[in-house]
Amino acid sequence: MLDLFYYLINHLVGKPSEPKQKEETYAFSESRTDELVKFFCGIGESEILDESIKTTDYPFEPSTVFPNKEIHFSEIDEIHLDEYPPTLKIGDELIFISREYIAELKEFTERNNIKEANRNSNWNRITEPFLDTEFDEEQKQKTIELLIENGFTEKEVADSRKEIADYMMEYNFGTMLWDWVSLGLNDVLSVMRVKLKKEEFQEFYWRAMEIEQRK
């Protein structure tokens, strides 16, 4: 796994990287372990009411719903029920709602005549190289082409991957999550909120929102 880690990092960012000593990679200090645990911040709790949704303990500080807010249905531009997790679109922002509320959320959508829509999941494509899955060259190129269709350049894709590469590998392999299906916007935000300073994360948060929804 260590060899895979450094092969992927070098392959993705295009620069040499010195492997850490084995004990530094696997024998985490208590403070290091605490940092890894912080990656898993969740997406808060929700209460679906007749005409509003109460969110509590929302973890992303730049968000307009941080840390708690009651969202009236009139504020919601559209709802994405097929996403994992589902999201509310409020202006330029996507708000995550746990999939455990999907039945209530669907009723809420229908009851208040809110637009139900599909949305792009560009971060799922950008993070493909950090999954515990091997992709052949054909699949890699197909992913690039889909992102180009959504307004990206190959350089933008490469730069975005380079920016998060070390952190996402740490998240998926250092924590032994080993996700092989998808890593999306919520995963990226969960990682970067730990790794970036407050001001840096605020800038990244809104940039990540734009990237996710670009088409």
Q: Which long-range contacts (CB under 8 A, 24 or more apart) does 176-183 make?
A: 178/132, 179/131, 179/132, 180/131, 180/132, 180/133, 181/131, 181/133, 182/84, 182/121, 182/124, 182/127, 182/131, 183/123, 183/124, 183/127, 183/130, 183/131
- pLDDT of amino acid 167: 95
Output the pLDDT for position 136: 94
Residue 14's pLDDT is 36
Residue 103 confidence (pLDDT): 97
Q: What is the pLDDT of residue 81?
A: 96
In this prediction, residue 117 carries a pLDDT of: 96
pLDDT at 37: 80
pTM for the full predicted model? 0.83
The secondary structure of residue 116, as a DSSP letter, is: B
pLDDT given for residue 12 in this prediction: 39
What is the pLDDT tens value at each position of the chain, 215 positions in all? 333 333 343 333 333 333 333 333 434 445 456 667 889 999 999 999 999 999 999 999 999 999 999 999 999 999 999 999 999 999 999 999 999 999 999 999 999 999 999 988 999 999 999 999 999 999 999 999 999 999 999 999 999 999 999 999 999 999 999 999 999 999 999 999 999 999 999 999 999 999 999 98
Task: With CA atoms as reference, report the closest residue to 54 among 65, 42, 43, 62.
Answer: 65
Question: d(Cα 55, Cα 52) in Å, to the nearest integer?
Answer: 10
Domains in the chain, please, with CATH?
A: 2-38+120-213 (no CATH), 45-111 (2.30.29)
27 is written with which tokens? Answer: 């024998």
What is the predicted pLDDT for the residue at 13?
A: 37
Q: What per-residue confidence (pLDDT) applies to 36?
A: 73
